[in-house]
Amino acid sequence: MSHKIIVPIGPYHPLQEEPEYFQLYVDGEKVVDLDIIIGYNHRGIEKLSESKHFDQIPYLVERICGICSSSHPYAYCLAVENILGTEAMLVPERALYIRTIIDELQRIHSHLLWLGLAGHFIGYNTVWMWAWKYREPVLDCFEMVTGNRNNYAMFKVGGVRRDIKDEDIPILKKMLDDLIPAADLFRGAIMDDPVIKSRLKDVGLLTRQQAIDWCVVGPTARASGVNIDIRRDEPYGAIDRLDWKVILEKEGDIFCKTVVRILELYESISIIRQSLDKLPKNAPIDAEVKDIPGGEGIGRVEAPRGECFHYIKSDGTNRPIRHKIRSPSFMNVASDKVSAVGGTISDATLTLAAVDPCYCCTERVAVINKVDNRKVMNGWDLIKLCQEKTLKLKATLSES
C-alpha cells in the first residue's frame, strides 16, 4: 500500500465511555491493521498502593473500576490471605458466602450493562433500555446490602465488613425471581432473533489458538472454546459448595460472547439463591487479622470480564513493597488486534466493544446556588443525602 488511510476511533468517541484510542488502518472498507493506544486513564494505582497500609488498599483498588469494584478488593484480600495461608483456613464460613453473593451480584449487573451497550452498538436500543432497566433493581439491592450502588467497601482481609441482614434476604430473593423473566426476555430477543444472529455471527472472530496465544481470559476466552473459569479451577468463597456450571461456546465470534454472558446470568442467579439458602445463621463474619507477615501472595478471582490477578509482596511492615495488578481487560483488549483486523469498519466498533472493555460509571454530584455560585452542600451533606436515599429505598423495597 502506497499510503495508509487511518480511521481514528477515540480517544473520545460517542461509542466509548472511556478514553481509549484505536487507529484503524483501512483499505476501502476493510480493516488491515490496528493500533491500540491506551493510558489516558492511568492513575498509578500500583505505586499509590505502596504508600497505603494493608487496611486502606481495598478502598483504593475498588476504585480501579466502578463495575468490577468487588473483584479487585476480593483478589487483593485473597493475595494477602495467601501470605497468611489460604482463604478457606482463615475466613469464617458466613463471610465466605457473603463474599460469593456480592461477587455474583456484581457479575449480574456487569453482564446486563454490557448487554445493554452491545444492543446500543448494533442500533438495537430497545435491548439497551431493557438491560439497563433490569440492572437497576440489582444496584438497588447493592445499595440495600452494602450502602452503595458501586464501590461497595465490603471486603477486608479476613472477612467482610458488613453482614447481610435476615430481613434483607427475602427482598434479595424476590429481586432474583424477577430477574429470571428478564433473562428469558434477553435470551429470546437475542439468541432467537435472525437479524441479530446475522449481525453478530462470524463477526470479530477470535479462534481458539488465537485466544490461547493472546492469553485472553473470561467470557472472551470461553466463547472461543478455552475452558477456563477461576471459580471452578481455583475455587474461592463458597463457590465450590454450590451447584453451577461453566458456560462454554466454540466459535469465538461476537454472537458466542453474547450467548456466554446471557447464560452466565442464569448461573449467577442460581449461585446467589443457593448461597442465600445455605448462609450460616448468627455466625462471625470477620477473622480480625492483625498483622501481615513478610512474604508474597497471589490472589485471583473470576471478574465479570475474566481473571483478575493481584500479587502482593510484603516485608513485614504495614505496607506492601510491591502490589501488581493485572485486570482482565489488559489481556482481552490486546486481542482486538486479531479479531478486528480483516473485518469492516462498521464491524470494528462492535468487535472492540465485544471484549467488554472496562470503564467507570461513577459520577459525583455538586449542588450550586445559582445566585452567588456558592456550593450549598458539603461532603457531609452529601453523605446524609445518600443515607436518607438508602433508607427510603429500603422502605420501598420491603413494601413491594
Residue type present at position 203 = V
Q: With binding defined as CB under 8 A, does residue 331 bind other proteins?
A: yes
Q: Which of 8, 12, 30, 85 binds other proteins (CB under 8 A)?
A: 85
List the one residue from 49, 70, 71, 82 that touches other proteins (CB under 8 A). 82
Residue (of 89, 44, 36, 40) closest to 63 by Cα position: 44
Q: Which stretch binds other proteins (CB under 8 A): 15-23, 176-184, 322-330, 343-351?
A: 322-330
Which amino acid appears at position 288 of this protein? E
Could you check whether the bond before residue 328 is cis, i.e. omega within 30 degrees of 0? no
Strand partners, 325: 310
Asked if 319 interacts with other proteins (CB under 8 A), we say: no
Question: Segment contacting other proteins (CB under 8 A): 112-120, 170-178, 200-208, 233-241?
Answer: 233-241
Interface with other proteins, residue 379, by CB under 8 A: no
Distance of closest approach, residue 337 Cβ to other proteins, in angstroms: 8
Contacts of 256 (CB under 8 A, 6+ apart): 223, 224, 249, 250
Smallest gap from Cβ 45 to other proteins, in A, equals 11
* 298 three-state secondary structure: strand
Tell which positions 117-176 bind other proteins, by CB under 8 A. none
Q: How far apart are CA 66 and CA 165, in angstroms?
A: 24
The one among 324, 377, 382, 390 contacting other proteins by CB under 8 A = 324
CB of 59 to other proteins, least distance (A): 22
CB atoms near residue 303 (< 10 Å): 29
Task: Give min distance, CB of 83 to other proteins, in A.
Answer: 9
Q: Does 3 bind other proteins (CB under 8 A)?
A: no
State the minimum distance, in angstroms, from the CB of residue 364 to other proteins: 25
d(CA 63, CA 383): 18
User: Contacting other proteins (CB under 8 A), which of 321, 361, 376, 383?
Assistant: 321
Of 178-186, 228-236, 249-257, 384-392, the window that binds other proteins (rule: CB under 8 A) is: 228-236
Nearest distance from residue 16's CB to other proteins, in Å? 17
Q: How far is the CB of 228 from other proteins (least distance, A)?
A: 5
Using the rule CB under 8 A, is 44 a contact of other proteins?
Answer: yes
* Binding test (CB under 8 A) with other proteins, winner from 38, 238, 289, 354: 38
Taking CA atoms, 346 is separated from 4, 13, 26, 256, 327, in Å, by 18, 14, 12, 19, 28
Beta strands in the chain (DSSP E): 5-9, 21-27, 30-37, 155-156, 159-160, 295-303, 306-314, 320-326, 368-369, 374-375
Q: Compute the least distance from the CB of residue 77 to other proteins, in Å.
A: 15
Question: Is 86 an interacting residue with respect to other proteins (CB under 8 A)?
Answer: yes
Q: How far is the CB of 229 from other proteins (least distance, A)?
A: 9
Give me the residues paired with residue 6 across strands.
25
Q: At residue 384, what is the residue type?
A: K
Among 296, 377, 393, 394, interactor with other proteins by CB under 8 A: 296
Measured CA to CA, the distance from residue 73 to residue 62 in angstroms comes to: 6
Count the Cβ atoms, other than its own, within 10 Å of residue 229: 24
Segment near other proteins (CB under 8 A); pick from 256-264, 289-297, 341-349, 351-359: 289-297
3-class SS of residue 311: strand
- Pick 283 or 321: Cβ nearer other proteins: 321
Among 295, 319, 345, 393, binds other proteins (CB under 8 A): 295
Q: If residue 352 lies in a helix (H) or strand (E), which one and from where to where?
A: helix 345-354
Contacts of 31 (CB under 8 A, 6+ apart): 24, 25, 340, 341, 342, 343, 344, 345, 348
> Closer CB to other proteins, residue 61 or residue 262?
61
Which residue, chain included where needed, has cell 458539603?
378
**Least CB distance to other proteins at residue 214 (A):** 5
Tell me which residues touch other proteins (CB under 8 A).
38-39, 42, 44, 46-47, 82, 85-86, 212-216, 227-228, 230, 233-235, 295-298, 300, 307, 309, 311, 313, 321-322, 324, 326, 330-331, 334, 337
